[in-house]
Chains A and B, each alone.
Chain A
Amino acid sequence: GEQVEQRPPHLSVREGDSAVIICTYTDPNSYYFFWYKQEPGAGLQLLMKVFSSTEINEGQGFTVLLNKKDKQLSLNLTAAHPGDSAVYFCAVRPGTGSNRLTFGKGTKFSLIP
């Protein structure tokens, strides 16, 4: 079945710096991609959802890149601020068949004081 490797497991940057989280998946049939943000003591909130057909998606303060050739999905945080401190998860789902999401193991992101 699908396997998703997410790295790094921990990431600390200074306020205003940028950061990158990368997920590598194995199933070439994966078609839908998601980034979730989990703040302490809370559930997962959707940050962005990405179709396989779109390689670059921009949100507020971040960009999601999809490299289908290398089966990689990345979350690029630009100009980190305190509100970005959280655990980030990527998740993938195939285009047909099972509706199940496969998650990466998460990246704990924090700002260096």
Chain B
Amino acid sequence: EAAVTQSPRNKVAVTGGKVTLSCNQTNNHNNMYWYRQDTGHGLRLIHYSYGAGSTEKGDIPDGYKASRPSQENFSLILELATPSQTSVYFCASGDVGGVTEVFFGKGTRLTVV
């Protein structure tokens, strides 16, 4: 069974603080993704990666950085958190191409106060 693990599951951060959301996958997938989910917007892609050392901008990258130090790990970094970044964040992994499935973690609920 494919596994994508996110940590922490819940986080409260202060405005202007640094937040790091972590994601680990044991699927040996090349591609990893970070999405945020907001009511009325569905899932929107923030950053993604094709493999260790690679990060690519998604549709809404402003205010976020990503890091892919290894095949298994993909982090999302908020250098200066703002209340507008309060959301539920999902990490996902998938293999390249075709009808291959993308597997999601259980999400991280981030509240910036």
Contact = CB atoms under 8 A, between A and B. Distances in A.
Interface of B: 4, 31, 33, 35, 40-45, 48, 58-59, 90, 92, 94, 96-99, 101-107
A86 B66 CA distance: 30
Interface of A: 1, 6, 9, 32, 34, 36, 41-46, 49-51, 89, 91, 99-101, 103-106
A87 to B, nearest CB: 9
Contacts, number: 52
A6 B42 contact: yes
B42 A105 contact: yes
Contacts of A91: 102
Contact of A103 (B4, B43, B94, B96): B43
A28 to B, nearest CB: 18
B112 to A, nearest CB: 20
A101 B97 CA distance: 11
A41 B4 CA distance: 16
Nearest to A108: B39
